[in-house]
Amino acid sequence: MSFEIFWFMLIAVLWVGFFFLEGFDFGVGILQFFLGKNERERGTYIYSIGPHWDGNEVWLLTAGGAIFAAFPSWYATLFSALYLPFVILLLSLIVRGVCFEIRHRANFPKVRFACDIALALGSFLPALLAGVAMANLAVGIPIENENFTGTFFDLIKPYALFGGILGFSLFLTNGALFLSLKIEGELQERAYRFSRIAIISTVILFAIGTVLVREYGIICALPLILILIAALLVFRHHLKLAFILVALCTACSVAALFYAMFPNVLVSSVSPDQNLTIWNSASSVYTLKLMSVVAAIFVPIILAYQTWSYYIFRKRISPRSANIEA
């Protein structure tokens, strides 16, 4: 296996890991504002992801850094093409992080309420933009000679917006199931009731999406099968397995995108000759070798830390204990 293929696969794994973990994170950030009826309830929902949200975003930073170092042409073209969406995404993630910290320390109800609104918005925009970006990467964007030749409106066509809505629905479902597993009492029941509505919507959207990309066959049918099984498990109250399957559905969708693109890293909607591939956008072999050594050291450390974190904070929380800690 060449270093170019290895790093394409590793970057795919990093993006899969980000969406696998961050899906419920964004979902909870949105749902806390709509399911929580008062400050105390919203605080309980937010507390449930407090130990995890920053660790989940490490995967995004690592994936972006890996693209920059391993495939600089891919990085340059991608970020110039999606400059405005990436700026919005970055600002949203900054707002999320600030809201977690300020809300925890704020003594005024109005400040906490403003943080709850900002947290919901800062979670909604990345969830929507992630789906829009993935849809654009799947069908291609207008690039020539490694330069983006389109406009912002070329990135928000109907298929891209459909991808954004699908991603948003999937993250909401994941977040609702996480809360159903993590919270006790009435707040848990409220999240479970919402999860049944959300997963039906997600199944319908996935079915439509599978029909639209039917040329990829079984690769795109697998996420639909997973979400269908998860829906059956939700209504039978097997929530832990349903949550895992919804997260796997997200991961398989991202993996299917990378599989469909290979060996391309960016597909040009102008001409196949303008596609960026792993061969014409990679760094030197020496750089890829050096990065491989670094990855062999630090990726296992990241995995070990995240596994330990989820194990330590695996127990359910009650509204009373959450607010005492806060």
pLDDT tens for each residue of 19-58? 888 888 899 999 999 998 888 888 888 888 877 777 778 8
- Res 105 pLDDT > 70: yes
Cβ atoms of 13 and 255 closer than 8 Å: no
| Cα(167)–Cα(207) distance, integer angstroms | 13
pLDDT at residue 318, as a whole number: 65
- Res 174 pLDDT > 90: yes
Q: Which range is most confident: 130-134, 136-140, 190-194, 210-214?
A: 190-194
Tokens found for residue 213: 């990309």
DSSP output for 259-275: HHHTTEEE-BSS-GGG-
Confidence bin at 138 (pLDDT 50/70/90): confident
Stretch 290-303: mean pLDDT, rounded? 86
Q: What is the average pLDDT score of the chain? A: 86
pLDDT at residue 324, as a whole number: 43
- What percent of the chain lies above the pLDDT cut of 90? 31
C-alpha distances out from residue 182 to 47, 133, 302, 314, Å: 10, 30, 23, 8
- Res 211 pLDDT > 60: yes
pLDDT at residue 193, as a whole number: 94
Confidence bin at 152 (pLDDT 50/70/90): confident
Cβ atoms of 226 and 249 closer than 8 Å: yes
Stretch 157-182: mean pLDDT, rounded? 91
Of 161, 175, 181, 216, the C-alpha closest to 22 is 175
- Res 283 pLDDT > 80: yes
pLDDT at residue 222, as a whole number: 83
Q: What is the pTM of this model?
A: 0.88
pLDDT at residue 320, as a whole number: 60
- Res 230 pLDDT > 90: yes
| Cα(236)–Cα(69) distance, integer angstroms | 47
Among the ranges given (119-123, 180-184, 272-276, 301-305), the one the predictor scored with the smallest mean pLDDT? 301-305
Q: Where do the structural domains in the chain lie, given as residue ranges?
A: 30-325
- Res 315 pLDDT > 80: no
Tokens found for residue 248: 């796997």
pLDDT at residue 323, as a whole number: 53
C-alpha distances out from residue 100 to 31, 49, 53, 261, Å: 15, 10, 9, 36
| Cα(270)–Cα(25) distance, integer angstroms | 36
